[in-house]
């Protein structure tokens, strides 16, 4: 296959991957069944990461493209069928049964027709993507089968009280019938409550928030999409870990109230405010919260859950860094960054999130530095913690261990 032909075929794969990633971004928001929400978030990352690998190969072939604007070279009936699918079974069939299979077949055919002596790198990329597309289809099939057992009537009725949502940004993201804002089970342990809140209100909600940013701000650079997609994957892994652990500890989904606060806080805002609310402030508080929870759980003897929080906290630092990186690139001035930072704090306190009252966990300067806060910004964050009487000073570990043990 000549260079010009492989370039055109690669562009078509890129355009398809990007179109699939956009579709999955909508579906993380509009699909109610939470087990599928995380599958879609994982595959959103797969689609963006695949487009990125193909883009990099094109650059090696001296062709630079912006994946967000590459036109499809071939007919797209299969993708249009995905975009108009309303019910969950229709979505699964249209994407994993048809569109993804067409993409996989096209990439395999491209690889087969490529001369290994002349263009081995293209074959390697295509073979990797073909294999991972097959794995994605298998993952979706397994998750769909388990969800169908929970909602046997899902072919005829939605598992959400709001009904089927089209592939547009919804007023609020879909949640399936197991969840409500008023659920309360008095018999839950503190750890199960904690895992439930992290699962629904932080991890799932952040998948939806990142997905919304991908589709709501099409003028943002491609690398922004790459970062948001990576965050979707991280949050999907966190969500699945917390869900699995909460089930292991005897909890069940829907036994604790859910909140839409994260969604509502950035609703209708510009990209700078969204980044400040979600990544710069929200994830920063999430880092300190996760570090604190890991320590508390370890002192309480729950090493397994503690280790999950250790790893989650480190991922969240990267998400803060994404927020700071993109906020600096779009804000235009330090004054604007300060403005949106304060607005984000205000929005969080208006939604009942803990920034105005005394924070119950310590400030971690090293994490803020890795998260991309400047020295001046860190001084201000530290002052805020001190002002509200937080436990900024180093904790006495032995004393803390005894206190946690005594409270259980």
Q: Using CB under 5 A as the criterion, which residues of the chain lie in contact with Fe ion when the complex forms?
A: 203, 235, 238, 283, 316, 319
Q: Which is nearer to Fe ion, 78 or 227 (CB)?
A: 227
- Rank residues 78 and 203 by Cβ distance to Fe ion and give the closer one: 203
Q: How far is the CB of 162 from Fe ion (least distance, A)?
A: 25
DSSP 199-224: IIIIIIHHHHHHHHHHHH-TTS-HHH
Least Cβ distance, residue 275 to Fe ion (angstroms) = 13
Give the pair of three-digit tokens for residue 278. Answer: 């979600």
To Fe ion, the closest distance from the beta carbon of 231 in angstroms equals: 6
What ranges in 151-189 are assigned the alpha helix state H?
none
Least distance in angstroms from the C-beta of 211 to Fe ion: 13
Give the span between the Cα atoms of 257 and 255, in whole angstroms: 7
Reference 143, options 215, 70, 35, 217; nearest CA is 35
Q: Residue 67 or residue 323: which is nearer to Fe ion going by CB?
A: 323
Cβ at position 316, least distance to Fe ion in Å: 4
Dist. CA 104–CA 206, nearest whole Å: 29
Handedness of CA 114, 115, 119, 122 (dihedral sign): positive
CB 31 within 8 A of CB 85: no
Q: From CA 372, how far away is CA 322, in angstroms rounded? A: 8
Q: How many alpha carbons fall within 13 Å on the CB side of residue 150?
A: 19
Specify the long-range contacts of residues 55-59, CB closer than 8 Å, at least 24 apart. Answer: 55/14, 55/222, 57/10, 57/121, 57/122, 57/125, 58/7, 58/10, 58/11, 58/14
CA angle 172, 169, 175 (to 5 degrees): 35
CB of 27 or CB of 242, closer to Fe ion? 242
CB of 311 to Fe ion, least distance (A): 10
Q: CA 303, CA 388: separation in Å to the nearest integer?
A: 31
Q: Which two tokens stand for residue 383?
A: 């002052």
If the CB atoms of residues 203 and 288 are measured against Fe ion, the closer one turns out to be 203
Find the shortest distance in angstroms from Cβ 345 to Fe ion. 18
Nearer to Fe ion, 208 or 283 (CB): 283
- Pick the closer one to Fe ion by CB: 33 or 283: 283
């Amino acid at each position: 296959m000549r260079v010009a032909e492989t370039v055109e075929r690669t562009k078509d794969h890129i355009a398809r991957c990007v179109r699939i990633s956009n579709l999955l971004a909508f579906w993380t928001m509009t699909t109610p069944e939470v087990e599928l929400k995380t599958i879609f978030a994982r595959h959103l990352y797969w689609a963006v990461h695949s487009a990125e690998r193909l883009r990099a190969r094109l650059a090696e072939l001296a062709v630079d493209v912006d994946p967000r604007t590459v036109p499809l070279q071939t007919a797209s009936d299969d993708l249009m069928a995905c975009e108009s699918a309303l019910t969950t079974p229709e979505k699964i069939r249209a994407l994993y049964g048809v569109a993804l299979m067409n993409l996989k077949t096209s990439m395999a055919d491209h690889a087969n027709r490529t001369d290994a002596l002349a263009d081995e790198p293209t074959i390697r990329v295509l073979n990797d993507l073909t294999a991972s597309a097959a794995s994605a289809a298998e993952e979706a099939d397994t998750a769909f089968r388990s969800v169908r057992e929970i909602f046997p009537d899902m072919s005829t009725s939605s598992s959400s009280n709001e009904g089927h949502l089209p592939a547009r940004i919804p007023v609020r993201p879909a949640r399936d019938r197991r969840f409500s804002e008023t659920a309360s089970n008095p018999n839950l342990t503190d750890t199960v409550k904690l895992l439930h809140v992290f699962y629904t209100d932080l991890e799932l909600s952040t998948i939806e928030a990142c997905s919304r940013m991908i589709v709501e701000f099409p003028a943002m650079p491609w690398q922004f999409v790459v970062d948001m997609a990576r965050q979707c994957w991280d949050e999907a892994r966190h969500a699945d870990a917390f869900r699995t652990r909460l089930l292991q500890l005897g909890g069940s989904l829907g036994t604790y109230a859910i909140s839409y606060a994260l969604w509502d806080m950035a609703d209708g805002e510009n990209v700078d405010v969204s980044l400040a609310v979600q990544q710069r402030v929200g994830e920063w508080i999430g880092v300190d919260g996760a570090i604190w929870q890991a320590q508390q759980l370890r002192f309480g003897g729950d090493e397994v859950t503690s280790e999950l929080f250790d790893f989650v906290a480190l991922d969240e630092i990267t998400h803060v860094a994404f927020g700071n990186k993109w906020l600096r690139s779009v804000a235009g001035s330090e004054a604007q960054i300060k403005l949106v930072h304060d607005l984000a704090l205000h929005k969080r306190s208006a939604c009942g999130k803990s920034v105005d009252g005394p924070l119950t966990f310590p400030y971690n300067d090293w994490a803020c530095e890795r998260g991309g806060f400047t020295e001046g910004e860190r001084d201000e964050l530290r002052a805020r913690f001190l002002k509200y009487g937080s436990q900024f000073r180093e904790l006495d570990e032995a004393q803390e261990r005894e206190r946690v043990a005594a409270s259980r």
